[in-house]
């Protein structure tokens, strides 16, 4: 869960799930935003909460765009960062690493890019904790 102060009087709560896509063979970021009263946010409302660099990434990148689809485990519509280009940009991101390092670095690297596209800030501490537990 992630809280965003969208204005002086509005607080939005975001829920993020990472689900593996067997179709695309990559992780997919599912998310939804809620108003304080529990009403779901629209995509336009979500975009208003995004930092400018995230909006720019979504507008300019051919590999990142938001769609709405059924959550595979909850059977309700959630927003998702569409996974169609994930495999390509992950190959570019990790191409210089060996197989073992690529496996260890895949999820933190993916989350650092996918999270950035929707304004999710990944603490550096989390990256190091993940790396330490995998070694």
Would the CA dihedral through 112, 130, 24, 66 be positive or negative?
negative
The two structure tokens encoding residue 128? 């190091």
Candidates 18, 84, 97, 104; catalytic one: 84
84 is catalytic: yes
Are 57 and 50 in contact, with CB atoms under 8 Å apart? no
By the 10 Å C-beta count (0-12 exposed, 13-18 middle, 19+ buried), 124 is classed as exposed
By the 10 Å C-beta count (0-12 exposed, 13-18 middle, 19+ buried), 76 is classed as exposed
- Catalytic residues, by residue number, are 84
């Amino acid at each position: 869960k992630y809280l965003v102060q969208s204005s002086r009087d509005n607080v939005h709560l975001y829920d993020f799930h990472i689900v593996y896509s067997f179709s695309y063979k990559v992780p997919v970021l599912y998310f939804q935003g809620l108003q304080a009263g529990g009403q779901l946010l629209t995509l336009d409302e979500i975009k208003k909460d995004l930092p400018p660099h995230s909006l720019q990434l979504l507008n300019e990148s051919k590999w990142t765009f938001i769609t709405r689809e059924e959550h595979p485990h909850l059977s309700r519509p959630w927003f998702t960062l569409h996974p169609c280009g994930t495999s390509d940009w992950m190959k570019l991101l990790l191409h210089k690493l060996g197989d073992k390092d690529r496996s260890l670095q895949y999820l933190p690297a993916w989350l650092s890019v996918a999270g950035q596209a929707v304004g999710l800030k990944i603490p550096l501490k989390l990256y190091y904790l993940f790396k330490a537990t995998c070694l």
